[in-house]
Amino acid sequence: MDSPSVEHLFIITGTTRGIGRALADQALALGDSFVVGFSRVDVFLEGNYQNIHVDLNAIETIGAAFDAIGLDSEIAGGLKKTVLINNAGVLDPIAPIIDCDTEALAGNIRVNLTAPMLLAHHFYRFSKAFPGKKCIVNITSGASKSPYFGWSAYGAAKAGLDMATRSMALEFSRIDPAFHVCAVAPGTVDTDMQAQIRKCTPEQFERVDKFMDLKANSALSTPRQTAVDLVRLIVEGRLENGGRYDLREMKG
């Protein structure tokens, strides 16, 4: 670690690319952060960054990932805020439920719902003795509130994550008010997931034309701008316990 003057610890899942990578970059740009990336591949970033190999589909490995974080006691004792961003997610399978691959269906629920809940569990045990505030940010989606043909697994997992967020927020408000949990929907962002959507047939996903139009009309947010906005809200303490936010409505 380059400097003992660390005030923020960020643990971010899915830092290989897209929003997760941009979040890691933006957190490091604060200049007073230590950033831990949980990803399936090795990611090397300059500064106070540690990459830990984690496959969130193998949920039994999540606890060991927290054990591998290299944070010494001197640094931990000076923290003002410790943050977990449950960003990693998968869209597959994209198909009507009757056509879904069953293992992909189970994997979707593991990565999008079970893993974030287990990460929250281990995050509490990892950080409860640290000073300052702790914040869990679950990345959600508009699909948690509206059904999409072909997204039964993804929509159900994100709806479950929204309820898990509310339930955990209630629990922490009574058990340990230093912990806040919220959900943030980033909107439509130009990521690999969007590219995957645009490759679908109408038989797989009825609204594929809408997503193709968003790309053609340059109506997608960039991962960098999404990360700038979200990190700012976290650092400024504008995300309340139990809240569900649309990032597009939180600018400025």
pLDDT at 155 over 90: yes
For 37-93, give the DSSP string: EEESS----SSSEEEEE--TTSGGGHHHHHHT----HHHHHT-SEEEEEE-------
Higher pLDDT, 56 or 72: 56
pLDDT digit string, tens, across residues 96-148: 999 999 999 999 999 999 999 999 999 999 999 999 999 999 999 999 999 99
For the segment 159-176, what is each residue's pLDDT rounded down to a tens digit? 999 999 999 999 999 999
pLDDT at residue 4 greater than cutoff 60:
no
> Across residues 70-75, what is the average pLDDT?
90
- What pLDDT is recorded for position 193? 75
pLDDT for 252: 59
How far apart (Å, rounded) are the C-alpha atoms in residues 84 and 36? 9
**What secondary structure does DSSP assign to 158-208, as a single string?**
HHHHHHHHHHHHHHHHHH-TTEEEEEEE--SB-SHHHHHHHT--TTT-TTH
Where residue 83 falls among pLDDT bands split at 50, 70, 90? very high
Q: Is 245 a catalytic residue?
A: no
Contact call for residues 221 and 189 (beta carbons, < 8 A):
yes
**CATH 3.40.50.720: does it fit domain 8-189+222-249?**
yes
Q: What integer pLDDT is reported at residue 1 of this predicted model?
A: 46
Report the alpha-carbon distance of residue 207 to residue 147 in Å, rounded: 11
The share of the chain scoring above pLDDT 90, in percent, equals: 78
The structural domains of the chain, with segments of one domain joined by +, span 8-189+222-249
Task: Give the pTM.
Answer: 0.92
| Active-site residue, selected from the candidate residues 49, 124, 154, 245 | 154
Each residue of 188-232: pLDDT tens digit? 776 777 778 787 788 887 778 877 777 777 767 799 999 999 999
pLDDT at 82 over 70: yes
Confidence bin at 154 (pLDDT 50/70/90):
very high
DSSP 8-state code for residue 149 = T
**What is the average pLDDT value for the chain, to the nearest integer?**
93
